């Protein structure tokens, strides 16, 4: 099996295990009697880990090799995840959440860089789309299994099963073989080789991810609590509700290269991200369960279906020996802002469901900023030679 396909298989296994964990963990904390403020702090700690430790891991991957780092994550994510369900002090739980977030970020930072190295212009957009689509599809399956097992055997048992499954990702990693760039620390941080156009697209890419990071961070990590508080759903129904959004995203992402080719990749990305703005706004006021779930699902689909398009366009324009570090810096911006936003979750929502209206209205503003940046990227790079090569 080719290295790119093994990396996609790694994404599938970790996607199922990680989604099972996420769909029940906040509910587990709520079951243990923790407040929304503390649950928000735990989520924030995980995101700070993804941001700060994720950057360090990205640099280490460029320094020592990506395969070693990916294999390390297959072991460390389950260990920290299981330790988090033990009877431990709050400070220990926050610390473990920080480290787990950092180790879990490898699935996004290092995998994205590794996929760029194991593909070419002819198949990169297709593989990026397949990887993201399978990630979403695995999330669907993981959400359903997590909710179902949570109701059948309990939340703690489900978390253990999810982490054992995550550990199995070491199997495809052990068979991966590809030419890996290794750079010195001096070379990694030497960005003098980037030309003006590379700096421009990199800063726009960082800006887009930063605005989405804060806007999404206000609510995306608390979907299980939102459905629980607004509609009183069981763990199984919450898993199904969250899975509905990922089903459409999975299908769309797999065929994103075809959609990009048909409509123009960056034009399509801009239009999808523009449509997200009224959808987020509507979530502030709609309180009918089926309508809310539908709007929540379309927001998720439209926003995330463009991720493989943007990643393939941006990463194809950047030097390969710095991709893990650049991905780590992007993760630092995105996840640090998500962490800050998550810290405000409990304060904005408070003890009343009316607080969710405020939450979605604030989020709408940041998604609107992201749409403006997406428009700028479309106008600047839609007709570029590298963009045409990726999608023709």
251-280: pLDDT as tens digits: 777 777 777 788 888 999 999 999 999 999
- ∠ at Cα 276 (315, 204), nearest 5°? 30
Residues 6 or more apart in contact with residue 318 via CB below 8 angstroms: 194, 198, 202, 326
Any idea which residue has 């299981």 for tokens?
82
What's the pLDDT score for residue 179?
64
Instruction: Please choose, from the candidates 242, 47, 14, 260, the residue with its C-alpha nearest in 3D space to the C-alpha of residue 131.
Output: 14
Residue 389 has a CB neighbour count (10 Å cut-off) of: 14
147-191: pLDDT as tens digits: 889 888 999 999 999 999 999 999 998 888 766 666 656 665 666
Q: What is the residue-wise DSSP string for 211-237?
A: HHHHHHHTTGGGHHHHHHHHH---HHH
Which DSSP helix (H) or strand (E) runs through 69? helix 66-83
Instruction: Please choose, from the candidates 379, 389, 391, 373, the residue with its C-alpha nearest in 3D space to the C-alpha of residue 308.
Output: 391
CA-based max dimension of the chain: 57
User: What percent of the chain has pLDDT above 90?
Assistant: 27
Give the least confident one: 13-22, 96-105, 228-237, 368-377.
228-237
CA distance 199 to 333: 16
92-134: pLDDT as tens digits: 999 999 999 888 887 677 887 788 778 876 677 788 778 878 8
User: Is the model more confident about 242 or about 39?
Assistant: 39
What's the pLDDT score for residue 271?
93
Residue 384, phi then psi, degrees to nearest 5:
-70, 150
Band (pLDDT 50/70/90 cuts) for residue 361 is: very high
Residue 177 has a CB neighbour count (10 Å cut-off) of: 10
Q: Are 23 and 146 in contact (CB under 8 A)?
A: yes
For the segment 66-81, the average pLDDT, to the nearest whole number, is 89
Q: Are 183 and 66 in contact (CB under 8 A)?
A: no
- Cα dihedral 368/369/370/374 (nearest 10): 100
Band (pLDDT 50/70/90 cuts) for residue 141 is: confident
Q: Are 69 and 106 in contact (CB under 8 A)?
A: yes
329-346: pLDDT as tens digits: 887 888 788 878 877 877
Q: How far is CA 205 from CA 209, 317, 372, 374, in A?
A: 6, 12, 12, 9
Instruction: Please choose, from the candidates 312, 319, 72, the residue with its C-alpha nearest in 3D space to the C-alpha of residue 188.
Output: 319
Domains of the chain, each with CATH number or no CATH: 3-174+194-391 (1.20.1250.20)
Q: Would you say residue 31 has pLDDT above 80?
A: yes
Mean pLDDT, all residues of the chain = 84
User: What percent of the chain has pLDDT above 70?
Assistant: 94
């Amino acid at each position: 099996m080719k290295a790119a396909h093994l990396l996609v298989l790694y994404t599938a296994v970790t996607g199922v295990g990680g989604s099972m964990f996420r769909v029940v963990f906040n509910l587990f904390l709520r079951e243990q009697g923790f407040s929304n403020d503390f649950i928000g702090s735990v989520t924030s700690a995980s995101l700070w880990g993804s941001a700060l430790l994720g950057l360090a891991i990205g640099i280490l991957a460029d320094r020592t090799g990506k395969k070693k780092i990916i294999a390390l994550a297959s072991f460390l994510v389950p260990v920290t995840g299981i330790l988090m369900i033990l009877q431990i002090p709050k400070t220990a739980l926050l610390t473990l959440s920080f480290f787990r977030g950092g180790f879990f970020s490898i699935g996004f930072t290092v995998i994205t860089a590794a996929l760029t190295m194991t593909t070419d212009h002819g198949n990169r957009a297709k593989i990026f789309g397949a990887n993201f689509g399978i990630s979403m599809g695995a999330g669907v399956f993981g959400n359903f299994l997590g909710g179902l097992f949570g109701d059948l055997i309990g939340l703690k048992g489900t978390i253990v099963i999810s982490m054992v499954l995550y550990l199995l990702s070491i199997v495809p990693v052990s068979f991966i073989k590809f030419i890996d760039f290794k750079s010195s620390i001096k070379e990694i941080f030497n960005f003098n080789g980037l030309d003006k156009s590379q700096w421009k697209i990199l800063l726009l890419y960082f800006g887009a991810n930063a605005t989405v990071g804060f806007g999404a961070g206000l609510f995306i990590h608390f979907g299980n609590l939102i459905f629980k508080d607004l509609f009183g759903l069981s763990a199984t129904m919450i898993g199904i509700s969250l899975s509905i959004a990922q089903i459409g995203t999975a299908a769309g992402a797999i065929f994103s290269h075809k959609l990009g080719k048909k409509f123009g990749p960056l034009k399509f990305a801009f239009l999808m991200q523009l449509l997200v703005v009224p959808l987020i706004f509507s979530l502030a006021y709609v309180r009918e369960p089926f309508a809310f779930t539908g709007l929540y699902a379309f927001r998720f689909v439209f926003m995330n279906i463009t991720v493989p398009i943007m990643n393939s366009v941006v990463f194809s324009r950047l030097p390969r020996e710095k991709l893990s570090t650049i991905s780590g810096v992007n993760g630092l911006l995105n996840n640090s802002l998500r962490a800050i936003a998550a810290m405000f979750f409990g304060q904005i929502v408070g003890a009343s469901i009316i607080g969710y209206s405020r939450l979605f209205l604030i989020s709408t503003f940041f998604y609107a900023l992201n749409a403006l940046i997406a428009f700028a990227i479309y106008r600047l790079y839609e007709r570029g030679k590298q963009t045409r090569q990726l999608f023709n």
